[in-house]
């Protein structure tokens, strides 16, 4: 597999047979640690990532202080250090940064699609067509914290440099993310969740270092704590018909709740949530036509 800039993306599969078998058994609902062979890559050095940050639109860049609590009220603001300096000096900048939708750059798109292409068969056997592939790169200072939140994508987080611990909580369990929070998110609200120390006993900690990755189910609440040295990690993500149906079912539940009803929580995979999803999509078409 070759990238668009002349170098080889990988000279052998990034995910070996054992990792692919583990992924196939666990996907899409069970978190699992996988081995990967994405060695230090020219596109994933600090200098290359700083250069990428300079090319990406502002909407694709997020960065803030690294010494945040596990729970935050809304999205943290940026630091007063520019994104390029933040990345190049991540070891001392006390920061957390993410470059979103790296596939906007052709070379990074090639890398993302090559990685996901290795798992396409296992993905599509379970959840159908792999939709909307996206990539995110996280650069974190020592001991930086990513506060408690959830994400709508199927996700594999590959650790490239440094170590971190991702603590995941059961997806779809209202104890860890209330139904009303899901409904608000899918209607345009924040992805940050309210943290209480009483939630801690429900989490499972996944410690990963270079050469390891962890799978994150759709909407599984989680928080991340970086280790004692700076970190680089890359999320490869995708959507499925199932994930879009779950999102639309949440939106439909929000409409029902606003009408004074108490809707049932959408089911997790392999339940399809098709009825509620179709109802919301029909309502949305009527609303737009009116």
Over range 19-47, report the average pLDDT. Answer: 95
pLDDT digits (tens, 9 = 90+) for 192-235: 999 999 999 999 999 999 999 999 999 999 999 999 999 999 99
> Is residue 66 scored above 80 in pLDDT?
no
pLDDT digits (tens, 9 = 90+) for 136-149: 999 999 999 999 99
pLDDT computed for residue 44 by the predictor: 95
pLDDT computed for residue 67 by the predictor: 66
Nearest to 172 by CA among 198, 201, 202: 202
> Is residue 4 scored above 80 in pLDDT?
no
> Is residue 98 scored above 70 in pLDDT?
yes
CA angle 97/103/109 to nearest 5° reads 125
pLDDT digits (tens, 9 = 90+) for 154-180: 999 999 999 999 999 999 999 999 999
């Amino acid at each position: 597999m070759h990238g668009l800039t002349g170098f080889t993306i990988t000279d052998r599969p990034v995910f070996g047979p054992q990792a692919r078998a583990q992924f196939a058994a666990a996907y899409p609902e069970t978190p699992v640690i996988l081995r990967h062979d994405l060695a230090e890559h020219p596109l994933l050095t600090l200098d290359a990532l700083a250069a990428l940050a300079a090319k990406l639109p502002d909407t694709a860049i997020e960065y803030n202080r690294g010494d945040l609590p596990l729970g935050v009220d809304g999205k943290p603001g940026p630091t007063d250090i520019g994104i390029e300096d933040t990345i190049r000096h991540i070891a001392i900048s006390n920061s957390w940064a993410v470059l979103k939708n790296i596939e906007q750059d052709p070379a990074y798109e090639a890398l993302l699609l090559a990685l996901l292409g290795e798992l396409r068969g296992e993905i599509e056997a379970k959840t159908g067509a792999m939709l909307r592939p996206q990539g995110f790169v996280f650069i974190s200072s020592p001991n930086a914290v990513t506060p408690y939140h959830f994400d709508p994508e199927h996700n594999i987080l590959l650790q490239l440099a440094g170590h971190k611990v991702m603590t995941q909580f059961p997806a779809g369990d209202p104890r860890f993310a209330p139904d009303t929070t899901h409904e608000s998110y899918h209607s345009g609200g924040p992805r940050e969740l309210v943290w209480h120390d009483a939630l801690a006993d429900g989490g499972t900690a996944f410690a990963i270092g270079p050469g390891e990755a962890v799978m994150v189910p759709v909407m599984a609440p989680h928080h991340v704590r970086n280790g004692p040295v700076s970190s680089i990690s890359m999320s490869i993500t995708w959507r499925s018909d199932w994930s879009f149906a779950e999102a639309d079912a949440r939106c439909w539940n929000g409409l029902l709740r606003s009408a004074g009803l108490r809707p049932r929580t959408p089911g997790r995979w392999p339940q399809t949530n098709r009825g509620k999803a179709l109802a919301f999509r029909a309502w949305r078409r009527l609303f737009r036509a009116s």
